[in-house]
Homo-oligomer: A and B are copies of this chain.
Amino acid sequence: MIKKIIHAVKSRAVETISIVSALLLWQMTADLIVRNKFFLPSVLDVISAALMIVQRPSVLEIGALAIEIPVVLVDLLQSLLHFSIGMVAALFVGIPVGMIMGWFTTLNRVLDPIIEMLRPIPPLAWIPFAIIWLGLTPVSAGFLIFIGAVFPIIINTFTGLKNVPRIYVEAAKVLGCRQDRDLIRYVALPSALPSIAAGIRIAMGVGWMCLVAAEMFGVSKYGLGFKIWHHYHLHQMDLVLVYMMVLGLLGLLIDKTLRYVIDEHLLKWQAGVVR
């Protein structure tokens, strides 16, 4: 067991060193250069603040059930709820739309102007409409995350489908794969997967970024984003940083899981084809 851990650490030595030295650099900058807890709290400040919110209990209510857990966990679950709503919606909308646009030239011409008009409109600007249309519900927060996440998915899916090597499409056609649906499913999709996967990664990042916007207008009283604002208004920068770090770590975890699934399961064949 211990050996296993040692082995795991060893095989991750580079990563570990990288993180540790980044933290050291931060601590030293905070201690020796900035020297102002408000401008840049040090690692230790952040850790002690983190311990505080881990110990502070809160009550999670699910229906009639009420469980007492650390407040940061409640925030985390709340944010994950918002995030999942937005991401699932973005995936369900973005991938099909991107595929349709990448495959059918005419539909691309129809959808492109509308999408290009909507795309630059920032998630923040949608807040009033989210309030009006969807109310102060998790769906409303999910909507803002959706807005941020859907366009990267569309663009990278589109790019992936545009760049399917011609030879594969032709090979499939002469093998009797005639319907666009099948061509997309059996040829374009696997071939575009690296690009789509990168799109989803970006979308997760942007969506996660939008979480903070999504939780700034009163959809809930918990949430990592909500707490960032909360503590920011109170100028408690150490807690702001703790929540930023939790947000960062959770985002990292989500991203790593995604990459693991993609690289190990979906793109295994790629290893030998690319450099």
Contacts and interface: CB of A to CB of B under 8 A. Distances in A.
Given A14-B106, A162-B275, 17 more contacts: A14-B109, A15-B113, A18-B109, A18-B113, A19-B113, A40-B129, A120-B255, A124-B228, A125-B212, A148-B206, A155-B201, A155-B205, A156-B156, A162-B274, A165-B274, A169-B275, A195-B198
A191 to B, nearest CB: 9
A191 B19 CA distance: 32
A159 interface: yes
Contact of A120 (B116, B151, B248, B272): B248
B232 A128 contact: yes
A221 interface: no
Contact of A250 (B15, B120, B128, B256): B120
Contact of A251 (B120, B155, B228): B120
The bracket for how many chain A residues form the interface is 35 or more
Interface string A193-226: 0110111011001101111110010000000010
A274 B166 contact: yes
Q: Indicate how many identical chains form the complex.
A: 2
Q: Which of A158, A240, A274 has the most chain B CB within a 10 Å cutoff? A: A274
A116 B125 CA distance: 27
Contacts of A122: 208-213, 225, 247
Contacts of A14: 106, 109-110
